[in-house]
């Protein structure tokens, strides 16, 4: 039997609403004033459902979520509701208008109307754009997504323009590097929490990969699509895409096979299949020593210390294997360099959640301190979501001193997000 919603009950009592009927009436009155809507109403039976078993609670409409936050100071995911895929707090959706206009304009970089004026395209430009990629990957580790989206998408716009004039192998080479740039833009949007834009750019990646006729790049583009499906919680969608990428696995360079296998493991973890997770990660581990290509994209397995154990630990955390994940994260984080700051923050947040699931709340809060500092600096929504998962895992200690310590640590992050 699912537990009742102690988080919402505690928040209700904290503001002096002794009964659920009183809470429903007070929330209705507050909402009518806040929204300037005399018809806004929360019925007592609705509140009783919210405090009932998990499968009965549902998810409040956005206006109701805003009223709950304004009244109780907490969003629904902090009040015992199960977060639906793709939910982003309204305060995070409404970025300032300048930043929003920037996001819209860089998405349009993939949709430049043609034709364009013909020009000579020197083959040396392929090497130029490839050499820039590694610098962008490194900058992403330091800066997070927001400061790079404009730069990388503008370079994609230029590549797209050159492709329209290039001929033969020069055109084919620019298509290959263009797909890598589109994939990076998609990743940056994904890290920024905009899964709609991320999915759009993953689609652009796949289109350009197919146009390049490069089987390795086509496989890479399918794995990119699977990454978005992972963030959406669609395990079977992840599995479908990765199996499509691996359909002719022997024709792929080891790097792409590794990427597809580890992402397929994430799909297995979303469907509760630990055995397949371990089989896939173990098989991929046997291929690592064979990665020797000079392709400029998809090099996380070379660049990230303990790359496959990071994936295993993440899958274990998703499967609720707190103790096993805790042990793996301890090993992984010991090897993560300080330069990989954004990745380190994500790993720390996941490690803290694993500690909480293992019923070691003090250990979880200790780990969360560094993660919160990095989250405030990078503004990675992916990291903020991991910290939200930590908050939910720490609910049993919400009213204990350790729970209050966590709330204090995360307050600057939640206020600035």
**pLDDT per residue over 405-415, tens digit each?**
999 998 888 76
Q: Pick the more confident residue, 53 or 170.
A: 170
Contacts of residues 325-329 at CB distance under 8 Å and 24 or more positions apart, as own/partner, are: 325/350, 325/351, 325/354, 325/357, 326/351, 326/354, 326/355, 326/358, 326/360, 326/363, 329/354
- Which parts of 58-134 are beta strand (E)? none
Q: Which residues contact 408 (CB under 8 A, 6 or more apart)?
A: none
The tens digit of pLDDT for each residue in 378-396 reads 777 888 889 999 999 999 9
What angle separates helix 20-35 from helix 62-72, to the nearest 10 degrees? 110
Q: Determine which helix (DSSP H) or strand (DSSP E) holds 44, and give its type and residue range.
A: helix 44-50
Please give the residue that has the higher pLDDT: either 286 or 5: 286
Burial 16-44 (b: 16+ CB within 10 A, else e): ebeebeebbbbbbebbeeeeeeeebebee
Q: What is the mean pLDDT of the chain?
A: 87
Is the overall model pTM greater than 0.85, yes or no? no
């Amino acid at each position: 039997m699912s537990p009742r919603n102690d988080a919402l009950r505690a928040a209700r009592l904290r503001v002096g609403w002794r009964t659920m009927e009183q809470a429903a009436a007070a929330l209705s009155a507050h909402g009518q004033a806040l929204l300037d809507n005399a018809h806004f109403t929360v019925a007592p039976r609705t509140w009783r459902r919210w405090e009932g078993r998990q499968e009965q609670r549902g998810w409040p409409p956005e206006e109701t979520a805003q009223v709950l936050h304004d009244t109780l100071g907490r969003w629904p995911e902090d009040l015992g509701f199960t977060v639906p895929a793709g939910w982003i707090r309204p305060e995070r959706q409404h970025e300032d208008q300048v930043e929003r206009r920037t996001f819209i304009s860089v998405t349009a970089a993939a949709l430049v109307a043609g034709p364009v004026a013909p020009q000579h395209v020197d083959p040396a430009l392929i090497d130029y754009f490839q050499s820039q990629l590694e610098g962008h990957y490194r900058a992403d580790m330091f800066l997070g997504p927001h400061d790079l989206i404009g730069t990388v998408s503008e370079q994609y716009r230029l590549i797209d323009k050159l492709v329209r004039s290039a001929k033969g192998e020069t055109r084919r080479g620019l298509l290959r590097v263009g797909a890598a740039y589109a994939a990076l833009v998609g990743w940056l949007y994904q890290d920024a929490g905009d899964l709609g834009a991320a999915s759009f750019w993953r689609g652009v990646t796949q289109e350009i990969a197919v146009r390049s006729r490069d089987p390795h790049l086509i496989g890479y583009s399918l794995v990119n699509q699977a990454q978005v499906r992972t963030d959406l919680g669609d395990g079977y969608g992840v599995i479908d895409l990765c199996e499509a990428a691996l359909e002719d696995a022997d024709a792929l360079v080891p790097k792409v096979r590794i990427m597809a296998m580890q992402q397929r493991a994430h799909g297995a973890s979303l469907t509760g299949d630990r055995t397949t997770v371990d089989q896939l990660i173990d098989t991929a581990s046997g291929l690592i020593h064979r990665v020797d290509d000079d392709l400029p994209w998809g090099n996380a397995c070379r660049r990230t210390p303990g790359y496959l154990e990071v994936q295993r630990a993440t899958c274990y955390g998703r499967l609720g294997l707190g103790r096993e994940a805790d042990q793996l994260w301890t090993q992984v984080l010991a090897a993560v360099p300080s330069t990989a700051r954004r990745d380190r923050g994500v790993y720390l947040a996941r490690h803290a959640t694993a500690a909480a699931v293992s019923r070691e709340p003090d250990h979880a809060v200790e780990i969360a301190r560094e993660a919160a500092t990095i989250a405030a600096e990078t503004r990675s929504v992916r990291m903020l979501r991991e910290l939200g998962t930590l908050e939910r895992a720490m609910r049993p200690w919400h009213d204990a001193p350790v729970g209050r310590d966590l709330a204090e640590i995360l307050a600057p992050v939640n206020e600035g997000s």
